[in-house]
Amino acid sequence: MTATDLTDLGVVEAAQLIAARKLSPVELTEACLARIEALDGKVNAVLRLLPERAMEAARRAEAEVAANAIRGALHGVPYALKDIIDLEGVPTTGHSQIRADAPPADAHAPVAYRLERAGGICLAKLSTWEFAVGGPSFDLPWPPARNPWDLERTPGGSSSGSGAGLAARFFPAALGTDTGGSIRNPSAACGIVGLKPTYGRVPLKGVLPLSTSLDHVGPMTRNIADNAAIFEVIAGHDPDDPTSAAVAPQNIAAALGKGVKGMRIGVIRHFWERDGIADPDVAAAMEAALEVYRSLGAELNDIELEPLPEYAACLKSIMAGEAYALHRRTMAMNANAYGALARDRIDAGSTQTTAEYLEAMETRRRLEAAFRVSMQGMAAALTIVTLAPPPRFDDADGLARSFSLEGRPPFNIVRAPALAMPMGATATGLPLAIQVIGHHFDEATVYRVAAAYERETEWTKRRPPL
């Protein structure tokens, strides 16, 4: 294989080739590192490259293959971590001046430990928005990540480096986090696949918090099967994590090929036709995607949730209160060390009262109960991820809109699983995305519905002209 062929490999395909001794973990890791070295000066996806660590792990993985000692489903496969997730021996910066000199983490976050235990090879820590909230900022020690489809556009946030690096073929898998859409936004903007699992399905321990009742960790990849493979590795109860749920695992792989014939699937149309007006390209792509599902035998039914602005206001209130509580001491001592966007967004919680926060939590309980009612009789639901394609860095209004009224926050509020995947492109080639929503702790059906659409289209096979 050429170096380009190697960096185009996905998780499942690479793992199978390595296990069959048809692919060297060393060659694959070298190819990914070389591509990062050659192109990341344009993309800025990587905050800290780990070449020595990665090559040592690749050589060990190769020796284990020779000894018939495959460690797990990711044996010899490279991945990368958003730099709010701890990796033992490596600092966790949060893309912030405040943590620029942070000491190395003394332990893996459980999600990182599970990836390493399964044989994964960590290549890098990745760009994010400052503390996963600050936006694409130019007043930080490191520049913001750029979108490989158009370097003048944002790759979405806050898992910006994860999305941009995957689209640029720097690695076949990454982890992101999602508090108000921060896995699904960069997945949509960069033309990749990202899952926000059910709250509690994946442990949060060892991850810098933003809003502990809204935060999620999830997989980001370039196709559905790869995403499912990473999810199965990182999901599961952690008794040391109070946010972690003790629920039985699902057989995700068995669900992928079942199709959607006869399934009743809800369509949350009012998100893009009434609550917010979608860009014409987004609206047209949604209609085309829905027609694919009808052709596959799914029964589509429009369903109603509460209006998007109600979810947006609820999320803003909860996140403001929890983020300020986490940062208030540092803000009081050294507010100017934050970038302007992060400082303003965190400081928004400084005037919130306890009564207002508790009222928002009560609204959340009502919205989650209403969601469960709306989903009755539906196997899953479909809606937009974003109302518009990714904005340019110099489009202040577009950047502000992408942080507020969108199709992502409702599913952080109600804690249900939500997956973003490619569904088309604008006339200029920018990615567009659809969102698949499931019942709580039913990621298997989400993947089933997404995989059926992927098989009928070529959207996950597109790559940027980088």
Provide the token pair at 47: 């905050």
The set of residues, in sequence order, having a beta carbon less than 8 Å from that of 465 and lying 6+ positions away, is 149, 429
In the set 24, 137, 158, 402, the catalytic residue is 158
Exactly one of 82, 125, 196, 316 is catalytic; name it.
82
24 is catalytic: no
Helix H or strand E encompassing 299: strand 299-302
Q: What is the dihedral of CA 223, 431, 202, 178, to 10 degrees?
A: 170
- C-alpha to C-alpha distance for 228 and 436, rounded to whole angstroms: 14
Using DSSP, state whether 43 is helix, strand or coil: helix
Measured CA to CA, the distance from residue 102 to residue 104 in angstroms comes to 7
Q: Give me the phi and psi of 74, to 5 degrees please.
A: -115, 20
| Interatomic CA distance for residues 409 and 423, integer angstroms | 20
In angstroms, what CA-CA distances link 174 with 23, 93, 209? 21, 17, 18
Do residues 300 and 293 make contact, with C-beta atoms less than 8 angstroms apart?
yes
Bridge partners (DSSP) listed for residue 176: 218
Q: Biggest alpha carbon distance in the chain?
A: 62
Q: Which helix (H) or strand (E) holds 221?
A: strand 217-221
Q: What's the rounded Cα separation, in Å, for the pair 351 and 317?
A: 11
Strand 217-221 and strand 173-177: the pairing is antiparallel
Question: Is 182 an active-site residue?
Answer: yes
CB 179 within 8 A of CB 216: yes
Selected catalytic residue, list 24, 160, 182, 317: 182
- Residue 157: C-alpha distances to residues 71, 301, 315 (Å): 33, 31, 16
Question: For residues 441 and 386, what is the distance between their CA atoms, to the nearest angstrom?
Answer: 24
Residue 60 token pair: 């060990």
Q: Which residues contact 420 (CB under 8 A, 6 or more apart)?
A: 183, 184, 185, 187, 188, 193, 194, 385, 433, 434, 435
Q: Which residues are catalytically annotated?
A: 82, 158, 182
